[in-house]
Amino acid sequence: MPGMGHGVDIHNPVVTNLFRLGLHVSFVWVLAFAVLFALGLAFVALRSPDGVPPLSEARPRTTLRVGFGLLWLLDGLLQLQAGMPLGLSSQVLAPTKEAAPTWWHGFIGTAVQIWNQHPLALAQAAVWIQIALAFGLLGSTRMASRVAGLLSAIWALLIWLVSGFGGLFGHGVSVLFGWPGAPLFYAIAGFALALRPEKFPHVYQAVVSKIVGLILILGAVLQALPGSHFWTTGNDNALNQMIQDMTSVPQPAWLAGIGHVGAGVVRAAGPGINMLIVVWLMAAGVGLWRITVSGFRWPASSLAVGAVIVWIVVQDTGLFGGVATDPNSMLPLALLGITLSPRLRTAAPFNVKLSAVARRAISNAAVSLAGGALIVGTYLGATGIFASPETTLYRAYNGDVAAVEGTPAPDFTLTDQNGQPFSLSTHRAAHEVVVLSFIDPVCYEECPQIGHQLLDVVKNPPSGVKVTVVMVAANLQDHSKRQVEHFMEQYDLAGVSSLYFLNGTTHQLRDVFEQYGITVTTGGEHGMSIHSMVVYIINAAGEIRYIVEDDPVPGPAGRASTVQVLRDAIVTLR
């Protein structure tokens, strides 16, 4: 029986199939746009008298560009997970509120609501945008990579804001746990790659080394705070708890084994381990701050090696359990450390053993694919946000709507909230649709949610259609006139034209329930009944055309999703 408030499976087959179908369709459009871009680039190449410019990209820029290009590609592939449309908001975005300042909760809540109203469109958009950033960075050493770098920085900052600043203002944060957020490292790399290639080596070393150094110094201070639970031994150690949490999710046995060994060492020697971490962070931070003056290689090397160790032992790679969207913060931090090495700065550009024609062909193919993916991803995201709410959440909770072939709606006469007789047969006029539901007047859980859905429909009916909402009291014990009036007043349903809450004797109500196949039993909490939650949509000819199961989806996005289902069904009856 629906309406008992069960949760939703993020791998709901209806939604995952729709997600895959949407990706297949959008992939065709990506390829179509990519072909157009490729033809355009080929035409430009034929008219270019200069041929292919020689490779002269600084080695740190090449490493940064390729490294973060591969990271964006990995992130895009992670976005392909079947549970992403329903899981990202509940398992990724919503939990970030805990570490975000209270004044930012509204922004995160809005982001969650927007995603939940358009999960399929936005999940597909995220896939193609991140794949576009990946191929834009991987496919070009010149202008296209600068544009991709700038776009990747903007996209990363958007993710950073939506995720509550990466825990920047959280309590008990640690660089080892992801502070100040992986997207911030993506943004740093993106802005650096947006620089002119000739300016990159000096600006990158002078500016980024100090930014990363400052982050590590602040991270060392946070790690050293006495109240952060890093100085204890045993199970109470915060680092041990983090490792245990990460290794508790399904993953390869060898990876979990590494985590278990690390957790055991932390439990036995927590204060000593934390001292090593504090010294490492502080030394690497100060070393990077002065790296352009000292020329020492060890700060960058120690950061890269240490970050990889932490990524495996503490962060458990960030790829397993729940809905992983990126490999967490330590891998991009390690990549920044590698590119800040003085050895890399003084090294000659990479020698790519490909002909100029082959290099141009590969570059044009990658840039064309990036352009096609960017257009499709941007279109899906923009149109998705401004389109009507998707019915995705409704379908995840209730399945597909059942259409009925013109079954006559049984007529009945009951009393409305004003004490006037109401007969269903009297509401049969041109362009009039009756939406019939069954509401428990003493319910304070699912029934008010259904009432608000019906209120939205009657207040904003489809153009050219008159909608009458009829609610029948679905409680055989508590259904007095005063209880009906209280329900309507409490949930803002009173005084709404074309909305009727019908009541009658227990015998009359039983007859209506039997006619419409509604099960109503006692036994709910605080006098509430347990009843079928179904909405019938009846056309102007008095025929039932749709039977809509209505286990209410929680939240504004769920309400909007169900309202859209009802509106879509009503539109077909015009």
Give the chain's domains with CATH numbers: 13-349+356-386 (no CATH), 401-571 (3.40.30.10)
What ranges in 387-416 are assigned the alpha helix state H? Answer: 392-398
The one-letter code for the residue type at 527 is: G
For residue 425, what are its two tokens? 């047969």
Q: Rounded CA gap, 158 and 109, in Å?
A: 15
pLDDT at 49: 59
Pairing label, strands 466-473, 499-502: parallel
- Give the global pTM: 0.90
What pLDDT, on the 0 to 100 scale, is given for residue 256? Answer: 93
Alpha-carbon gap, residue 192 to 152, rounded angstroms: 11
pLDDT score of 171: 79
Residues of the chain with pLDDT under 50: 1-6
Q: Which residue has the tokens 């100029």?
A: 356
Element (H, E) at 399: none
Q: How far does Cα 538 stand from its chain's mean position? A: 37
User: Percent of the chain at pLDDT above 90?
Assistant: 75
Q: What is the pLDDT of residues 38-47, one digit of tens each?
A: 999 888 877 7
User: pLDDT for 153-210, tens place per residue?
Assistant: 999 999 999 999 988 887 778 999 999 999 999 999 999 999 998 899 989 999 999 9
Tokens of 92: 């990724």
**Of 7, 181, 11, 182, nearest in space to 87 by CA:** 11
pLDDT tens string 276-315: 999 999 999 999 999 988 889 999 999 999 999 999 999 9
Helix axes 209-224, 330-339, angle to 10 degrees: 140
Distances (CA, A) of 11 to 83, 85, 270, 285, 437: 5, 9, 39, 43, 29
Cis ω for the linkage preceding 180 (within 30 of 0) = yes
Full 3-state SS string of 367-394: HHHHHHHHHHHHHHHHHHHHCCCCCHHH
DSSP state of 76: H
Distance (Å, whole) CA 153 – CA 403: 48
